[in-house]
Structure 1
Amino acid sequence: MSVSTSSPRVVLVTGASGGIGNAAAVAFAEKGNTIAVHYSCSEAKAKATLQAVESAGGSGALFQADLSRVSEIRRLYDEVYSRFGRVDVVFNNAGARGESLIQNTPEELYDSIMDLNVKATFFSLQEAIKRMGQGGVIINNGSVLGTFPWASRVVYCTSKAAVEMLTKCAAKEAGEKGIRVNAVAPGPVVPGMVPPHMVPKFEGLSPFKRIGEAREVASLCVAIASSDMSWVSGQVITVDGAGFCGLQGDLDS
């Protein structure tokens, strides 16, 4: 089944309760789309996102799922398809971060980050590619740290590097069904997962001398999903205000 490439479309945003997810849900809603607002634990924040979606001119519904479990991912897709009949755009945004060097990383931290950043993205891609048709769009949320090594964020960096390769492989497979797969690779943004004490350092990295905003990543996602970018697939697009361009060394130094 082909999917619509013009508004209104059904857009599934995972991790839509805050930060980039919230901004993306609202940005897609501003185009008149229907938003499947996914959350894991923060129901109150998810409800706030849904209210913002409706205020922006869109419509939608809430969907709860623990994306670290494959059975929950499949249930999420079942419920979204049951409610709306289709999904036209998927933004795999849900993620986790953590701080640890290799030598002191506990198994639990490793598993929690890899499960949500890699496993969840992989099996969401699986469900989306199986179910979506011609014209479908999948966007994965990567990070500039997928290519820039940061010793004390080793698990996070590794997970986002995996997301980049997943995107490129998935684009080959999904392209045979007419589905485009790309990734955004944001630098630090607010609101997001940036520790407050790191904000001045990140502001200093960019020639614009500021930190990015979640809405700027969201705008890129909307652009990627548009029919104007129908020949763009298998790409990882950095959005960081040239902040990491040519950067050497470690951010902990």
Structure 2
Amino acid sequence: MSSPARPRTVLVTGSARRLGRDMALALARAGWQVAVHYRDSHEEALQTVAACAQLSGDSAAFDADFFDEESVRALVPRVIAHFGHVDAVVNNASLFEHDDVQSFSYVALEAHLRSNTGAPILLAQALHAHLNERAAAGEELAHGAVVNVLDQKLWNQNPDFLSYTLSKAALEAANTVLALALAPRVRVVGVAPGLTLTSHMLSQERFEQLHAMSPLGRSSSSEDVAAAVCFALENRAMTGTTLLVDGGQHLQRFERDFSMM
């Protein structure tokens, strides 16, 4: 009699709150054990863990500072130590601070590249090494996936958030490089939302107006983005490509970032 299948484990970065939390909950509903990464949001991370555990049976929180390379490199081994294995990484955590050509600095660029580009690459590297070890130990189905959360603004650029945009453009390029370098063990897929959640920079009324500015009359909801992440993790034929989940906003031309409109 065959033994029951082992639950799959996914690390979702920046999943204590907002969009990352919604992704974590959607994956837990789909049966994944969720490793909830956070930097400062400890209490919110514990709340997300509790909600995920009710859905999938196991979840745990892991703090890591993505500006610190050693902290990033230690994250996947810590997840493995808790769950015994990890099968996928969703790179959602992101630094999003405003600068433009006039205010650009090396300091701003380096901070965004460390958090938004370097950390996702290191986590993909660690997942690949772990799966190779499992394959060497005789596990036939030692395959996994990485989902990199991008941004529709890469296909619809404007002058705002220069360092952020450059860091996400580098991650989109890494999507292709990683898909080639880590195949066949690891698939790499991008998911690029449009305007999804409001922030302190937008009133609710203005957010709703901007959210409707798309060919479909609505941009992405957190449920739309989470569904795309789940699909990307499940579809074994997808790698080296990006799903734009934005109601078609990338097809239009915006002179400013939504938060500045």
Instruction: Confirm or deny a common fold (TM above 0.5).
Output: yes
Give me the whole-angstrom Cα distance separating, in 2, the residues matched to 1:185 and 1:168.
15
Q: 1:186 is matched with which residue?
A: 193
Q: Is the 8 A contact 2:16 2:41 kept in 1?
A: yes
Code of the residue aligned with 1:161 in structure 2: it is A
Q: Is the 8 A contact 1:31 1:58 kept in 2?
A: no
- Quick check: 1:43 aligned with 2:49? no
* Offset at residue 58 of structure 1 (A): 4.0
Give me the whole-angstrom Cα distance separating, in 2, the residues matched to 1:112 and 1:39.
17
Code of the residue aligned with 1:172 in structure 2: it is L
Q: Is the 8 A contact 1:101 1:151 kept in 2?
A: yes
Which of 163, 174, 187 aligns to 1:166? It is 174
- Quick check: 1:236 aligned with 2:236? no
Within 5 A, what are the aligned runs for 1:21-170? Answer: 21-133=20-132, 134-170=142-178
Code of the residue aligned with 1:79 in structure 2: it is R
Q: Is the 8 A contact 1:189 1:213 kept in 2?
A: yes
* Offset at residue 160 of structure 1 (A): 1.0
Give me the whole-angstrom Cα distance separating, in 1, the residues matched to 2:244 and 2:71.
30
In structure 2, the residue corresponding to 1:180 is in which secondary structure?
strand
Give me the whole-angstrom Cα distance separating, in 2, the residues matched to 1:120 and 1:168.
16
In structure 2, the residue corresponding to 1:102 is in which secondary structure?
coil
Q: 1:3 is matched with which residue?
A: none
Q: Deviations over 1:96-115 (max 9, x none)?
A: 11112111124433332222
Gaps of 5+ in 1: 1-5
In structure 1, the residue corresponding to 2:153 is in which secondary structure?
helix
Q: Deviations over 1:77-110 (max 9, x none)?
A: 1111111121111101110111121111244333
Greater RCO, CA 8 A, separation 6+? 1
Q: 1:220 is matched with which residue?
A: 228
In structure 1, the residue corresponding to 2:102 is in which secondary structure?
helix
Q: Deviations over 1:201-251 (max 9, x none)?
A: 53242134334221211111111111xx21110011100011221425444
Code of the residue aligned with 2:244 in structure 1: it is T
Change (3 A) 1:194 1:179: farther
Gaps of 5+ in 2: 133-141
Q: Deviations over 1:138-168 (max 9, x none)?
A: 1111111223212021111111111111011
Give me the whole-angstrom Cα distance separating, in 2, the residues matched to 1:10 and 1:43.
21
Q: Is the 8 A contact 1:147 1:157 kept in 2?
A: no
Length, aligned pairs only: 244
* Identity fraction in percent: 26
Q: Is the 8 A contact 1:15 1:95 kept in 2?
A: yes
Code of the residue aligned with 2:153 in structure 1: it is L
* Offset at residue 55 of structure 1 (A): 3.0
* Offset at residue 128 of structure 1 (A): 1.7
Give me the whole-angstrom Cα distance separating, in 1, the residues matched to 2:108 and 2:210.
25
Give me the whole-angstrom Cα distance separating, in 2, the residues matched to 1:238 and 1:57.
28
Give me the whole-angstrom Cα distance separating, in 2, the residues matched to 1:248 and 1:22.
28
Give me the whole-angstrom Cα distance separating, in 2, the residues matched to 1:147 and 1:242.
11
Give the TM-score of the pair, scaled to structure 2. 0.86
Q: Is the 8 A contact 2:88 2:127 kept in 1?
A: no
RMSD between aligned residues: 2.1
Q: Is the 8 A contact 1:7 1:31 kept in 2?
A: no
Give the TM-score of the pair, scaled to structure 1. 0.88
Which of 243, 247, 252 aligns to 2:253? It is 247
